[in-house]
């Protein structure tokens, strides 16, 4: 005959083990694989709208470098976080790769003296910037809403170090009417 007292204790131990494993897996997935993020500002309009919900994957940049056009979530320069406030992640599009010379002139972005096609921006930039060469292991990032985005063109040190990139935005899952993959162009 099975001891009822031991069976009750086993249920509690198994339940705690299951809950513990679930918590460890959830935290591990969020830390190393993917996480959900929401869009708090209009800096990426029209591609991303305020309150869109996204999945940001974190694995691909362990194996491949970011590419021009990728939409990335990253830790912004410390200068942008008021003292005593939490440091919030930013989301922008990679425009300049390591070694690229980037310039913004007459409403157009130039990479290595060649204009780039940007069908995803809200409006042409109304500012002049550069030319500047992107350092090794760094990137230049701009919001798609170029004229309303705190991005590389507005930072004191304009380049995003690669080690500050959290991950790549890959899919929008909310609102239901806008569910889909996020493309580079």
* Residues acting as catalytic residues: 43, 92
Using DSSP bridges, classify how beta strands 101-105 and 108-111 pair: parallel, antiparallel or unpaired. Answer: antiparallel
CB 171 within 8 A of CB 182: yes
Report how far residue 36's alpha carbon sits from residue 30's, in angstroms, rounded to the nearest whole number: 8
């Amino acid at each position: 005959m099975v001891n009822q007292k031991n069976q009750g204790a086993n249920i509690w131990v198994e339940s705690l083990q299951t809950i513990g494993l679930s918590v460890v897996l959830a935290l591990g997935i969020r830390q190393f694989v993917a996480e959900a993020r929401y869009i708090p500002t209009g800096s990426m309009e029209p591609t991303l709208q305020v309150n869109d919900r996204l999945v940001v994957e974190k694995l691909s940049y362990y194996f491949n470098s970011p590419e021009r056009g990728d939409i990335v979530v990253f830790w912004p320069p410390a200068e942008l976080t008021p003292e005593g406030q939490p440091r919030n992640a930013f989301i922008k599009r990679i425009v300049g790769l390591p070694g690229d010379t980037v310039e913004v002139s007459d409403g157009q972005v130039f990479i290595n003296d060649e204009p780039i096609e940007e069908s995803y921006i809200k409006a042409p930039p109304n500012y002049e910037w550069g030319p500047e060469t992107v350092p090794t292991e760094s990137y230049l990032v701009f919001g798609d809403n170029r004229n309303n985005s705190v991005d590389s063109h507005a930072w004191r040190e304009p380049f995003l170090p690669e080690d500050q990139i959290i991950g790549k935005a890959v899919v929008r899952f909310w609102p239901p009417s806008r569910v889909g993959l996020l493309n580079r162009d």
